[in-house]
Amino acid sequence: MIKKVVSLILILFLIGAGVVFYVNTKISKETPKTTRSNPVESEVQVPDNTDELLANIISNAKAGKIDGKTNITVGKTTMTDITKEFGTPDQEESIAQGTFLTYSNPAFAIGTKHAGSIFEARSYDSRLNQIHFESILETLKKPTSTKYYKDQNVDQIILDYRLSKTYELKFILARPTNENPNPSLHHTAVLLINGNNPSGNNTNVSSNIDNLLNEMSLNEKIGQMILSGFYGPTYSGDLKNLIQQYKIGGFIFYSENLKDKNQTVKLINSMKSANGSNSLPILFGVDQEGGRISRLPEKLGNIPTNEQIGKRNNSNFSYEIGQILGEQLKIFGFNTDFAPVLDINSNPNNPVIGDRSFGNNASIVSKLGIKTMEGIQSERIIPVVKHFPGHGDTGVDSHLDLPVVNKTYNDLKHLELIPFENAIQQKADAVMIAHILLPKIDSKFPSSMSKNVITNILRNDLHYSGVVMTDDMTMAAIEKHYDLPNAAVKSIQAGSDIIMVAHDPNKVRAVFKAIQAAVQNGKISEDRINQSVKRIILLKQKYKIDNNKVPNISTQKVVEKTNKLLKK
């Protein structure tokens, strides 16, 4: 009897399993496959009018509009038109791109610069939440680019579709997760292509970069990947040798190299003349952060520390500080500023960052740091944001020894990386890598020599495609623990584009020869060298770096501008 019951149960189970298999097979054939990992989310019903909504969004965006109701055309509608039709905005905010005005009825926002035409319009129409991440991808396929934005309040994915030579359409949603793989649309944005670029010149890059690379010798390429220091305030035989024989692509200046404006301009002009026959112009860089890290000589006005700027927490003020820093550098003949500092000063006992940081709040550091970066860019000076992946929680000065930070990648993502990730989304041009050992990420090599940090995190995870530059490799953090020439090779293997070797020309030459040998013996491919040099060429072309002589310009106006700003 028991055997019969067991047999009957087994038969019923097999019949039931067959029915379930048939039903599941039938459903899988009739339902488009999606990559959902959450069974609850997979039951979301996409409204029937999603296709129509998307079609309207796309159609309007091609004409520079966010919808058919507000009658705003990006690039044509002016602030006068907006004020006349919609009155005073409900909210006004200054961020990296410009000033954004938000209206609640209808729900939209517009971005403008100097009360001129509109460079961006955003729609917050409540119907947009009927559209989901997967339906956008199914309708529009692969986006032109995918970006991310994160602060302490939001974690977003931005799908960017270039619709024409004029307009981009962006879909902004919560970043998909295992718990919510198919988030709803939060808002859309229509932008003028390059309308958010303050310098307005980032598309005017030469189409002959590959030809230029092919014409350059290996030695010329290696020279471009070194940023050198030197001794003294005068043009010397060492400098001539570095420029004409080693084809060094950039130089960092310290206080010992800078006595006054006339001397600095004369020195830079001499270096430009020596570089006249080389393929590419030189990067002339200096640490001009404001506060105690201000290398330029003469009394140029007391730029406050970033800590003081952070306490003030005014975006426009930060932008104007950036502009002044850019103006100062331009007058002296520089084209690169190793600033702003994006480190979050989370450790009050930090011996090297301190008041160089905008504060201990990721949102404030992001906002003010990016505005300073934008201000520097507006003067056609290259800003180098630093010190990736974050030097704010160190207890050791990397000038003196190698700091160790026992944080996981997840720890960094929730604090230190936030300002850098946001700066990258706002088109940061150059990132400086710190000398920090992070044992939970790379137990063997510091960040400036770590493939996990430079390639896996910065390049792959944060989608950064610009120039990566090391902090000075002659600092004790490196030289005390590693052989300098070998460390430079390891840094390039890890993903660095420019190796900074400050102070000593002999060390510069040793690093050059080590890189040269590494290419010759196959440790570094020439294709890898070409990748870095191409980024460097693009950067120099974007900012129109050249060999033209620096004119003799008075500092009086920038001093007056600085004093006027500080009185506000």
Q: Is there a domain that residue 110 lies in?
A: yes
Query: Using an 8 Å Cβ cutoff, are 458 and 430 in contact?
Result: no
Percent of the chain with pLDDT over 70: 86
Q: Which residues of 210-219 are buried (b: 16+ CB within 10 A; e: fewer)?
A: eeebeebeee
Residue in the block written with tokens 């410009």: 98
Span 454-483, pLDDT tens digits? 999 999 999 999 999 999 999 998 999 999
Q: Is there a domain that residue 11 lies in?
A: no
Q: Is there a domain that residue 280 lies in?
A: yes
Q: Which of 180-184, 205-209, 221-225, 323-327 shows the lowest mean pLDDT across its residues?
A: 205-209
Count structural domains, the chain. 2
| Owning domain of residue 62 | 44-192
Q: Is the pTM here over 0.75, yes or no?
A: no
| Cross-strand bridge partners of residue 191 | 120, 168
Q: Which of 25-39, 74-88, 159-173, 330-344 shows the lowest mean pLDDT across its residues?
A: 25-39
Catalytic residues: 399, 471
Query: So what's the pLDDT on residue 337?
Result: 98
Q: What is the CATH number of the domain that holds 221?
A: 3.20.20.300
303 shares its domain with 260: yes
The token pair that represents 265 in the structure block: 């301009």
Query: So what's the pLDDT on residue 515?
Result: 98
Question: DSSP for 435-460?
Answer: --B-TTT-SSS-GGG-HIIIIIIIII
Give me the helix-helix angle, 362-378 and 417-425, nearest 10°: 40
pLDDT band at 149 (very low <50, low <70, confident <90, very high): confident
Closest to 169 (Cα-Cα) out of 202, 196, 192, 194? 192
pLDDT band at 397 (very low <50, low <70, confident <90, very high): low
153 shares its domain with 215: no
Span 415-459, pLDDT tens digits? 999 999 999 999 999 999 999 999 999 999 999 999 999 999 999
Task: Tell me: pLDDT of 312 over 90.
Answer: yes
185 shares its domain with 232: no
Q: Which long-range contacts does 458-462 make (Cβ < 8 Å, 24+ apart)?
A: 458/388, 458/389, 458/420, 458/431, 458/433, 458/495, 459/495, 462/148, 462/417, 462/420, 462/421, 462/424
Query: So what's the pLDDT on residue 36?
Result: 30
Q: Is 32 exposed, middle or buried (0-12, 13-18, 19+ CB in 10 A)?
A: exposed
Span 280-293, pLDDT tens digits? 999 999 999 999 99
* Domain end point (choices 145, 161, 192): 192
* Domain end point (choices 161, 192, 223): 192
The token pair that represents 295 in the structure block: 């290398």
Query: Using an 8 Å Cβ cutoff, are 562 and 301 in contact?
Result: yes
Q: Is there a domain that residue 2 lies in?
A: no
> Which value, in Å, is the radius of gyration of the alpha carbons in the chain?
27
For residue 130, the 8-state DSSP code is G
363 shares its domain with 501: yes
Q: Is there a domain that residue 283 lies in?
A: yes
The CA distance from 18 to 528, in Å, is 56
Query: So what's the pLDDT on residue 256?
Result: 95
pLDDT band at 15 (very low <50, low <70, confident <90, very high): very low
Q: Which of 203-217, 471-485, 542-556 shows the lowest mean pLDDT across its residues?
A: 203-217
Residues found in the chain: 568
Closest to 536 (Cα-Cα) out of 467, 470, 471, 454? 467
Q: Is there a domain that residue 317 lies in?
A: yes
Most distant CA pair in the chain, distance: 109
Peptide bond into 106 cis (omega under 30): yes
The CA distance from 538 to 529, in Å, is 14
Question: DSSP for 43-108?
Answer: GPPPPTTHHHHHHHHHHHHHTT-S-SSS---TTT-BHHHHHHHH-S-SEEEE-SSSEEEEEETTEE
170 shares its domain with 248: no
